[in-house]
Structure 1
């Protein structure tokens, strides 16, 4: 039986930071850098955090976000030896449910509907590994938590950290030995 991996979407396989920056610049004419997001909650990097947060509720925000570099190839490679699930706490933004589902179908067709979990609280996820960018999800994971680097979690020394999908592959390939 294969070991299981739960993979978060936002800031792990989806470049939500880049998408948010682009949407904010388009809506308000102000460009924020990814570096401005380092060490603070994502919305606090924008001049108007409430306006920035409102973008998360706009149709198309989640559907049109870019894929994280290396994520597609890494997921296919991981599926050779692991049962891979995509897990997103999408309930906070209910309009994101169909958009995230359609986004996954386009960019990760090897992930079937049986391996997609949209939930509100990831503490119910019981996989061998969880790859996520938020401590609120990793701290309560029953398996091995893996912190995927995002602007908001820089400087945190908790859990095993990976900075790229190349590092994810290295780590999980070494776990097979």
Structure 2
């Protein structure tokens, strides 16, 4: 069996001119300014932290937009820190819920973090390699989807664990 090379999709290679038209979709290396534009379009408030990462705060969690590395290893990550603290005794129930979420969904992947005082918190994360460039439309759509999934996880966990709602999952005013 032979494979026609033209039938293999081009995942990230250079987009050249098509015989009858212009080049393919805009490809570039996203930056913090693009994230600010997306957050502005979504009417979400944000700030820049001491490590120069963008941060969008909600009542029950905060989401960071981080760029790390250089060249082909340049990574964009969206990391959400959920504020609710749990006891170490609650960790088995949390791990069961997190395993269920991670099995059922693509993102964010959620894990636990236990601090020195024994408080257990959840962190959600999604990452994308961007060093070789990505379609700006794909990048924007994926970032918005990750934000929405972070909000959805917070709602899902509250329902899954039978927690009372502490507030709305909208951006802080």
Q: TM-score range by the shorter chain?
A: under 0.3
Return the TM-score normalized by structure 2.
0.27
Which structure shows the higher helix fraction?
Answer: 1
Return the TM-score normalized by structure 1.
0.26
Q: In terms of Rg, which structure is larger? A: 2
Structure with bigger RCO (C-alpha 8 Å, 6+ apart): 1
Which structure shows the higher strand fraction?
Answer: 2
